[in-house]
Amino acid sequence: MTDLHSELADARNVLLCAPSMSGGEAEACTDLLIPSNPAGATALWVTFRSDATDCVDQWVAETDERPAEAAVVVVGESPGSRPDGVTVEHVSSPSDLTGLGITIGELLSGWETPPVVCFDSLTALLQYVDVETAYEFLHAITGQLYAADARAHFHIDPTAHDRTTVDSIASLFDAVVEFGDDGPETRKRHLLQ
Residue 146 CB contacts under 8 Å (≥ 6 apart), including other chains: 12, 13
* Axis crossing angle, helix 131-147 with helix 163-170, rounded to the nearest 10: 20
Average pLDDT along the chain: 90
CA neighbor of 47 nearest in space, from 67, 75, 25:
75
Residue 136 has pLDDT above 70, yes or no: yes
pLDDT for position 39 = 84
Q: Which residues of 58-79 are buried (b: 16+ CB within 10 A; e: fewer)?
A: bbeeeeeebbebbbbbbbbeeb
Q: Is-above-0.85 flag for pTM?
A: yes
Angle (CA) 82 32 2, round 5°: 140
- Domain residues for the domain of 81 are 4-188
147 domain-assigned = yes
Convert the pLDDT of each residue in 14-23 to its tens digit.
999 998 766 7
3 state DSSP class of 29:
helix
Q: Is residue 193 part of a domain?
A: no
Residue pLDDT, tens place only, 20-39: 766 788 888 998 999 988 98
Q: What are phi and psi of 128, to 5 degrees?
A: -115, -20
Q: What is the CATH number of the domain that holds 15?
A: 3.40.50.300
Domain count, the chain: 1
- pLDDT tens digit sequence for 38-89: 989 999 999 998 999 999 999 999 999 999 999 999 999 776 788 889 999 9
Mean pLDDT of 121-134: 96
Buried b (16+ CB within 10 A) or exposed e, 117-137: bbbbbbbbbbebbeeeebbeb
Sheet holding 69-75, edge to edge: 87-91, 69-75, 42-47, 116-120, 151-156, 13-17, 175-180, 183-188
DSSP one-letter code for 66: -
Q: Is residue 171 part of a domain?
A: yes
User: Distance between CA atoms of 86 and 70, rounded to whole angstroms?
Assistant: 5
